[in-house]
């Protein structure tokens, strides 16, 4: 393991454009369950209930969606960045981070200290709510207060349209600017580090492939095996927090 950690640190120091790609596994050590591990979100909820078409279909579906979304939001609201988030923020301070491409909606990269321009939120954010009709944006807490007061499916103050957390649901179109930027950054990276993702959800999961095909070294840090392990230059099966903290220690020693 030590050799692998040193190798990644060496590659970070030598690289010009380091892209970090993060998934829900990066935030489990902050108390937010991931999706596909035992006890994860898709163990407790049926993913079909989260389909965008269902949300649009009826008031009842929206009420069900908001009930589930509220339960998922609680641990996110309280969560603090863990060692892995802090290590990635430090990479930015050291000038060794081109960007973070994240599938996570919890906003913890910002809480850890990464700047807005360095984080690409591919699946949106749970920290804001948008009107699907007029696009008006609301702070999540403002809408959660209405839910606590008994509102089941909140609607827009301006146009009366349905409000939804500003996340990208299955069946919803991906955010154009963020997706294009993520492809561009992945294809021009020379070191791509995927952390805490099962790498099964498209189009996000194609980013490591794009990077590899354009000549980047691919490192995968994940507790469980992923479908891309065989094509990676280096794989570490371990806890993201301890692994990233050790790698950063070595980067600082060698710098």
Residues that bind ligand APR (CB under 6 A): 23-25, 28-29, 34-37, 40, 103, 123, 196-198, 201, 222-224, 239-240
- In angstroms, the CA 177 to CA 165 distance is 19
Identify which of residues 71 and 224 has a Cβ nearer to ligand APR in the complex. Answer: 224
User: Among 85, 109, 123, 184, which one carries the catalytic annotation?
Assistant: 123
Question: Residue number with the shortest CB distance to ligand APR?
Answer: 25
Nearest distance from C-beta of residue 40 to ligand APR, angstroms = 5
Nearest distance from C-beta of residue 174 to ligand APR, angstroms = 11
Identify which of residues 146 and 237 has a Cβ nearer to ligand APR in the complex. Answer: 237
Nearest distance from C-beta of residue 194 to ligand APR, angstroms = 9
Question: How many CA atoms are closer than 13 Å to the CA of 31, on its beta-carbon side?
Answer: 9
Nearest distance from C-beta of residue 204 to ligand APR, angstroms = 6
- In angstroms, the CA 22 to CA 218 distance is 13
- In angstroms, the CA 46 to CA 254 distance is 47
Peptide bond into 17 cis (omega under 30): no
Nearest to 212 by CA among 242, 176, 186: 186
Identify which of residues 165 and 196 has a Cβ nearer to ligand APR in the complex. Answer: 196
Nearest distance from C-beta of residue 213 to ligand APR, angstroms = 20
Identify which of residues 37 and 70 has a Cβ nearer to ligand APR in the complex. Answer: 37
Identify which of residues 16 and 67 has a Cβ nearer to ligand APR in the complex. Answer: 67
Output the CA–CA distances (angstroms, integers) from residue 188 to 17, 96, 207, 234, in the order listed. 7, 15, 11, 19
**Which residues of 86-229 form beta strands (DSSP E)?**
99-102, 119-121, 124-131, 137-139, 163-167, 191-195, 217-221
- In angstroms, the CA 218 to CA 1 distance is 17
> 237 catalytic, yes or no?
no
- In angstroms, the CA 168 to CA 165 distance is 9
Q: Which residues are catalytic?
A: 123
């Amino acid at each position: 393991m030590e050799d692998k950690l040193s190798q990644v640190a060496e590659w970070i120091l030598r690289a010009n454009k380091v892209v970090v790609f993060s998934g829900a596994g990066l935030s489990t050590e902050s108390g937010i369950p991931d999706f596909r591990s035992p006890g994860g979100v898709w163990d407790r909820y049926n993913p079909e209930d989260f389909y965008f078409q269902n949300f649009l279909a009826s008031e009842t579906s929206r009420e069900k969606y908001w009930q589930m979304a509220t339960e998922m939001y609680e641990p996110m609201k309280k969560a603090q960045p863990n060692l892995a988030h802090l290590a990635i923020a430090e990479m930015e301070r050291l000038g060794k981070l081109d960007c973070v491409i994240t599938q996570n909606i919890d906003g913890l990269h910002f809480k850890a200290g990464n700047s807005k321009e360095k984080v690409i939120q591919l699946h949106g954010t749970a920290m804001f709510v948008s009107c699907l009709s007029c696009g008006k944006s609301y702070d999540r807490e403002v809408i959660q207060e209405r839910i606590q007061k008994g509102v089941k499916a909140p609607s827009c103050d301006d146009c009366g349209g349905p409000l939804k957390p500003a996340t990208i649901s299955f069946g919803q179109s991906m955010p154009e600017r963020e997706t294009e930027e993520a492809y561009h950054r992945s294809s021009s990276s020379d070191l791509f580090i995927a952390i805490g993702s099962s790498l099964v959800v498209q189009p996000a999961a194609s980013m490591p492939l794009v990077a590899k095909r354009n000549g980047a070294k691919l490192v995968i840090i994940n507790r469980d095996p992923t479908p891309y392990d065989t094509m990676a230059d280096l794989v570490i099966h371990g806890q993201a927090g301890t692994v990233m903290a050790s790698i950063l220690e070595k980067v600082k020693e060698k710098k």
